[in-house]
Structure 1
Amino acid sequence: MSIESADYNHGVEPERALKYAIQHIRGDRAEIVEGVIEPVSPTWDHEAAAETIRDQIRARARVLGCVTGSGNLDLPGSSNWFIPDIAVVPAAAAKGAGALLPADTLLVVEVTSESNAETDRVVKRKRYAEYGAPLYLLVDRQERSVTLYSEPGQLGYTRADGPHPYGVVVRIPDPFGLELETSDL
């Protein structure tokens, strides 16, 4: 008997069990990407790039009644549980929430690392669109570029602004309506 059938026979759904386990790991944070548990342990260089973006969007997020953070995003019906580098979410939705859905966000930002660049470029881009994140900003440190994806659908984002090399100002559309400076990434 396989583990999956044993779990099923005892009423435990594999997706639910995996997501429960990921939320109860002691120490380092981890996410689930296509069924694989991956630790989230960014370098200081990675954090500096994320902070550069966060500093530029924080004031506008507050005006919109939102918070910026890296809280859990659940993708129900899939074996995915993401921890974005930055998510902008309505403050009311964030209060008391253990996890939100990508559709609950206004913007999701991922900053690539050598260990996860393809995940951010391909898997997360597709999944964030599929689960309704309206804007996905990919800061690709290996390619030294920034791409803003919008207009999500079941097959991915239908609009891409970029990739733009570092140094180009990238417009983040409404409700943000701001110009993102990328030269310090």
Structure 2
Amino acid sequence: MTSETAHDPADDGQVLLDGFLELDTPEGFRAELIEGEIVVTPPPMGDHEDILDSLNWQIGQHSSVRMSWSGTKGLVLRRGGKCPKNHVIPDGVLAPRELRLFRGAGEWMPPDEVTMVVEVTSSRADIDRKAKRHCYAKAGVPLYLLIDQQKRTVTLFSAPNEQAEDYMEDLRVLFGKPLDLPDPFGFALDTSEFE
């Protein structure tokens, strides 16, 4: 007589997560766990970094609140999704400096007090346009700024709806047009810098 044990899909998720956390990614590459898939991206090209530099400078110069910025901080998005714990590394993570959000944080942190995440599309643009957008919305990240190099657009997603797994509002402009960033930023982003 044989005894069969029921297969628990949560075990598969834990095995995937454990394997992901043990990855030894080459320097400059980013490994992320997005909706049950391990995604490894190569180091970004110069245009990608130039756009982030311009954005960071504008936020530092014009934001109505001093913002902290990290381009290397990983976020653990624990709410919803096929995998119990999405692990993403946005191109930018922003929060008011007074929160000291990054102080004492490990390699991965929850997004609880993050104000905005930023992605600049590169080799796998659809991940930024869809999968990451849904991850950020499900996690309740208030603002998602998507700078799409291929489409030459900048989109600010807001009003996350965790049940719908998406943002309910978006404002999109072509490169060269100003984009109003709401409080706590409170200024018009000059997207001509991205051309």
* TM-score, normalized by the shorter chain, greater than 0.5: yes
Report the Cα distance in structure 2 between the residues aligned to 1:101 and 1:19, rounded to whole angstroms: 17
Q: 1:153 aligns with which of 161, 169, 173?
A: 161
SS class of match (1:171): strand
Cα deviation digits, residues 102-145 of structure 1 (max 9, x gap): 332111110001x2110000111111011011000110000000
For the 8 Å contact 2:180–2:186, the answer to whether it is kept is yes
Residue of structure 2 in register with 1:55 after alignment: 57
Q: Secondary structure at the match of 1:125?
A: helix
* Equivalence for 1:17: 18
- The 5 Å alignment of 1:32-71 reads 32-34=33-35, 35-59=37-61, 64-70=65-71, 71=73
Structure 1 residue 171 and structure 2 residue 173: aligned? no
Higher relative contact order (CA 8 A, sep 6+): 2
Match of 2:91 in 1: 85
CA contact (8 A) 1:31 1:40 kept: no
Q: How far 1:26 moved relative to its partner?
A: 5.4
> Normalising to structure 1: TM-score of the pair?
0.83
In the alignment, which of 103, 123, 126 is matched to residue 131 of structure 2?
A: 123
CA distance in 2, matches of 1:117, 1:171: 23
Residue by residue, what CA displacement relative to the aligned partner does 1:74-120 show, whole Å, maximum 9, x if unpaired? 1126352111111102442210111222332111110001x211000
> Please, what is the CA RMSD of the aligned residues?
2.7
For residues 76 and 120 of structure 2, the distance between their equivalents in structure 1, rounded to whole angstroms, comes to 19
Aligned to 1:182: 191
* Aligned equivalents of 2:105, 2:20: Cα separation in 1: 15
Shift of 1:67: 1.1
Whole-angstrom CA distance in 1 between matches of 2:161 and 2:54: 29
Gaps of 5+ in 1: none
AA partner of residue 86 (structure 1)? G
1:105 — aligned with what? Answer: 114
Whichever structure has more helix as a proportion of its residues is 1
- Residue ranges of structure 2 left out of the alignment (5+ in a row): 1-6
* TM-score, reference length from structure 2: 0.79
Do the aligned partners of residues 150 and 165 (structure 1) sit closer, same or farther apart at CA in structure 2, a change above 3 Å counting?
Answer: same
CA contact (8 A) 2:59 2:67 kept: no
CA shift digits 1:152-181 (9 cap, x unpaired): 01221000111x111110000011111100
**Structure 1 stretch 145-154 or stretch 83-92: which is displaced more?**
83-92
Cα distance in 1 for residues equivalent to 2:33 and 2:61: 31
C-alpha separation between the residues in 1 aligned to 2:112 and 2:62? Answer: 19
- 2 CA distance for matches of 1:52 and 1:149? 20
What displacement does 1:39 show?
A: 2.9
1:161–1:136 distance in 2 versus 1, CA, 3 Å: same
- How many residues align? The count is 176
Cα distance in 2, alignment partners of residues 30 and 141 from structure 1: 21
Sequence identity, in percent?
A: 34
